[in-house]
Amino acid sequence: MKIVIALGGNALLKRGEPMTAENQRENVKTACGQIARVYDGNQLIITHGNGPQVGLLALQNNAYKEVPMYPLDVLGAETVGMIGYMIQQELSNAVPRSASIATVLTQIQVDPQDPAFQKPSKPVGPVYSKEEADKIAAEKGWTMAPDNDKYRRVVASPKPVNIYGLRPLKTLIENNYIVVCGGGGGIPTWVDDAGKQHGAEAVIDKDLASALLATLIDADLFVIATDVDGAYIDWGKPEQKRIALATPDAALAFGFASGSMGPKIEAAANFAKATGKDAVIGALADIEQIVAGKAGTRISGKAEGVTYA
């Protein structure tokens, strides 16, 4: 099977962990060990997030006052290279030496008229106290928003429209490369009236971009790997139930919050609707069972209503 695996942020950095290279390396090593379990007999395409890394690089970049801070799309490209390198190296240590692995910087087209540019909503970078957030917002003109009891910078999160460089991506996949691509939701790019490309000061949702990628490369299965074993209704309550199987429309009808499971459900539903194939949200630790159809929340056009675990 051709499988797209979208790694959640916890695969790179657990909440509250210092953003050291050592911590990220250890988390990537663990994630790659899990991915290697489904290497045999499958074509693997891996995507990942980069929010904290972009934020850290922006702060480091801004510390050098001789030049203005680099745009967010450029910082995003830098972090995608760094994270892709770690994934590629650790994965090469986990799969047979005969495997070929490639990391690709992926430009994803967005619409400059997308209303998201008027309402920044995507958290990036580290968390701050209220006092720190107010100070940074005043100094840098960033938009800050609450994140539990802390604050984070938020930027525009436009919808992904298309993927540039799709042909070389497909060539690598067709030649049985493990491909690491679409990092951070891809590098947001827009096109002017003259057909010229420009980077956008934005972050594309990783799961929505991964769903588009999975659709355009005709993946057989789309897996959103996170730190929970699926999508739950009544989460945190005694009556909570995990959704085992649902149609795209039934899953969307639950109205999951945009700050938690919402984008994952939307991404899974997008893929299932566009392809007629299955998308699964579940724990990376359950990856073998997910691929076997025995774990996670599966969104499928072949489902009938909703089934609970």
Write down the pTM of the prediction.
0.91
Segment holding 302, helix H or strand E: none
Q: For residues 4 and 108, what is the distance between their CA atoms, to the nearest angstrom?
A: 17
Q: For residues 123 and 163, what is the distance between their CA atoms, to the nearest angstrom?
A: 23
Q: Where are the domains of the chain?
A: 1-110+160-219, 121-155, 224-308
pLDDT in single tens digits along all 309 residues of the chain: 999 999 987 788 887 888 899 999 999 999 999 999 999 999 999 999 988 888 788 778 777 888 877 889 999 999 999 999 999 999 999 999 999 999 999 999 999 999 999 999 888 777 789 998 999 899 888 899 998 899 988 999 999 999 999 999 999 999 999 999 999 999 999 999 999 999 998 999 999 999 999 999 999 999 999 989 999 999 888 999 999 999 999 999 999 988 789 999 999 999 999 999 999 999 999 999 999 999 999 999 888 889 998
Q: Is 244 exposed, middle or buried (0-12, 13-18, 19+ CB in 10 A)?
A: middle
Is 2 assigned a catalytic role? no
**Beta-bridge mates of residue 102:** 179
Name the active-site residue from 264, 277, 282, 296: 264
Segment holding 275, helix H or strand E: helix 262-275
Q: For residues 206 and 215, what is the distance between their CA atoms, to the nearest angstrom?
A: 14
- Do the Cβ atoms of 218 and 275 come closer than 8 Å? yes
Q: Is 132 exposed, middle or buried (0-12, 13-18, 19+ CB in 10 A)?
A: middle
Given the structure tokens 């060539």, which residue do they identify?
171
- What value, to the nearest 5°, has the Cα angle with vertex 188 and ends 183 and 190? 150
Give the tokens for residue 153.
């910078």
Tell me phi and psi for residue 254, to 5 degrees: -70, -20
Looking at residue 53, its pLDDT comes to: 87
Q: Which residues of 273-288 are buried (b: 16+ CB within 10 A; e: fewer)?
A: bebebbbbbbbbbbbe
**Beta-bridge mates of residue 22:** none
Q: What is the pLDDT of residues 46-83, one digit of tens each?
A: 999 988 888 788 778 777 888 877 889 999 999 999 99
Give the tokens for residue 102.
């490639």
Give the tokens for residue 230.
């699926």
- Do the Cβ atoms of 206 and 6 come closer than 8 Å? yes
Is 135 assigned a catalytic role? no
**Beta-bridge mates of residue 299:** 246, 279
- DSSP E strands: which ranges in 161-305? 162-163, 177-180, 187-191, 197-199, 221-226, 232-233, 241-246, 278-283, 297-299
Name the active-site residue from 8, 84, 183, 206: 206
Is 10 assigned a catalytic role? yes
Name the active-site residue from 122, 184, 277, 282: 122
Is 276 assigned a catalytic role? no
Q: For residues 211 and 115, what is the distance between their CA atoms, to the nearest angstrom?
A: 21
**Beta-bridge mates of residue 287:** none
Q: For residues 190 and 112, what is the distance between their CA atoms, to the nearest angstrom?
A: 6
Is 264 assigned a catalytic role? yes
CATH number for the domain running over 1-110+160-219 = 3.40.1160.10
Give the tokens for residue 85.
């390198």
